Amino acid sequence: MTPIIEAKGVQAGYGTGMVLHGVDFAVAPGQAVGLMGRNGMGKTTMLRTILGLVPLRGGQVLMDGEDVSREAPFRRVRRGIAVVPEGRGIFASLTVPENLRLAARPGVDGQRLWTEERVLDTFPRLKERLGNRGDQLSGGEQQMLSIGRALMTNPRLLILDEATEGLAPLIRDDIWRVIAAIRETGIATVVVDKTVAAILSLVDRSIVLVKGGVVFDGAPAALRADEELMHRCLGV
Ligand SMILES: Nc1ncnc2c1ncn2[C@@H]1O[C@H](COP(=O)(O)OP(=O)(O)OP(=O)(O)O)[C@@H](O)[C@H]1O
């Protein structure tokens, strides 16, 4: 199956500093991939490079087998990718439904499977906050709204960068449950998170970055079995 996204030998960085030193990375349709690694190893830079937000200095980024290395970020996203960025990026002055409606668009297949109603059914907490503005929501609710907004674009691939960071354990569990449910609907996911156990129980494939290079790419069970790697590269 042609991957939705494929990175081949990707090199990227900021200013004169290189962060990614030839990273290979692929996400097949419907696949859940965990992008893992300690702080500062290049996970966010990898996501941003795939989206065209950090310039590519070497290698290639393909989407559905097509080279998009020179394509603008908005065009790449229009291929059916939704991003839940670190920091959530919701509109503080808009209400919950306004935030959702602003993002609404059909998927690349023209379908609108994710409607405002379906998103609100998925996140009952948001249903209780319809009149609230973005800045009147708790951190967990903001995160749910950010995910809900991404779903309103009817994506084929959902990218979640640190979706559970800074949230209380019960809210985190809620978010993980929803991510698993989204996955079940056939949407491919790329998850970056520090909660190693939660990621490994969710994904089909884990990729571990150390200093901008891939040190592991395979099944979560194989990663779990490698205690030395888990300890050295993930700190668990
Ligand atoms: N805008 C930027 N300008 C310069 N350097 C940056 C910038 N963003 C990140 N870096 C550097 O690039 C390296 C990789 O950062 P990146 O955010 O990709 O790591 P990460 O694995 O996502 O870590 P974290 O979990 O801490 O976000 C780090 O050394 C970081 O300091």
135-161: pLDDT as tens digits:
999 999 999 999 999 999 999 999 999
| Bridge partner list, 81 | 157
| CB atoms near residue 192 (< 10 Å) | 22
CATH topology classification for 1-75+196-236 = Rossmann fold (3.40.50)
Ligand 1 contacts CB of residue 130 (under 6 A): no
pTM of the model as a whole? 0.93
* 44 alpha carbon – ligand 1 mean position (Å): 7
Out of 10, 11, 14, 161, give the residue to mutate to test ligand 1, the one with the largest number of ligand atoms within 8 Å of its CB: 14
What is the structure's pLDDT at 25? 93
Across the range 34-48, mean pLDDT stands at 95
Ligand 1 contacts CB of residue 27 (under 6 A): no
What is the structure's pLDDT at 219? 97
Sheet of strand 157-161, all strands in order from the earlier edge strand to the far edge? 81-84, 157-161, 188-192, 32-36, 205-210, 213-218
pLDDT band at 14 (very low <50, low <70, confident <90, very high): very high
Alpha helices in 93-152 (DSSP H): 96-103, 116-122, 124-127, 139-151
pLDDT value at 110 more than 90? yes
pLDDT digits (tens, 9 = 90+) for 203-213: 999 999 999 99
Ligand 1 contacts CB of residue 87 (under 6 A): no
Ligand 1 contacts CB of residue 42 (under 6 A): yes
Residue located nearest, by CA, to atom 7 of ligand 1: 14
The ligand 1 atom at the shortest distance from the C-alpha of residue 42 is: 18
- Domain assignments of the chain as residue spans, ordered by start: 1-75+196-236
